[in-house]
Amino acid sequence: MTETNVLDEIAKASIYWEDLTPGTTYTTSSRTITEGDVAAFAALTGDFNKVHVDAEYAKGTIFGQRIAHGMLVASFMAGLTSRSIPNQLMEGALFSVLENRLKFPKPSFIGDTLRVEIEVVEQRETSRPDRGIIAFMRRGINQRNEVVAEMAATCLFKRRTPANTQ
């Protein structure tokens, strides 16, 4: 297969706005939050809040132990999402992320293993026929099947044109 044929096959495998109908779901692989992740995130961001980095202090909080930074959890979710096969097939059609809204209904702890369950919740046309908007709900789920984070993401996607129809 020539390079041109390979690129054509990849383009055919792309996921476009039309493919992302409400109710479409998929789940990512998982990743465990380590002490090193929390320490590195604190060093990178400068967020050395004691509830994240001081085990003795954290024992006296309502959590009873250190918790991972919410933004670390959100970053894990973004990484797990970007590594997923459906997301990789969307890359050619994704123009941009327009908005992310975050909620953290439960804390995440060092040692928790997270996966992301992703659902298409809305599909809207725009004023331009070559693009559309997709709203996703991404839920960070720990090994106890608890939702620890919710990320509502709105993204701008390419629509199929005669040149890229299957």
Q: What is the pLDDT of residue 83?
A: 87
Copy the structure tokens of residue 111.
Answer: 């040692």
Calpha distance 100→146 (Å, rounded): 21
pTM (2 decimals)? 0.85
The DSSP string of 27-41 is EEEEEE--HHHHHHH
- Res. 84 pLDDT band, cuts 50 70 90: confident
Distances (CA, A) of 48 to 16, 23, 70, 140: 41, 39, 13, 23
The DSSP call for residue 100 is E
Q: What is the pLDDT of residue 124?
A: 96
Residue at 42: amino acid letter: A
Mean pLDDT value of segment 138-145: 98
Q: What is the pLDDT of residue 92?
A: 79
Percent of the chain scoring above 70 in pLDDT? 89
Residue at 83: amino acid letter: R
> What are the chain's domains?
14-164 (3.10.129.10)
- Res. 4 pLDDT band, cuts 50 70 90: low
Cβ 77 vs Cβ 114: under 8 Å: yes
Q: What is the pLDDT of residue 12?
A: 60
- Mean pLDDT is lowest, of 38-47, 82-91, 115-124, for 82-91
**76-36-52 Cα angle (round to 5):** 80
Q: What is the pLDDT of residue 5?
A: 56
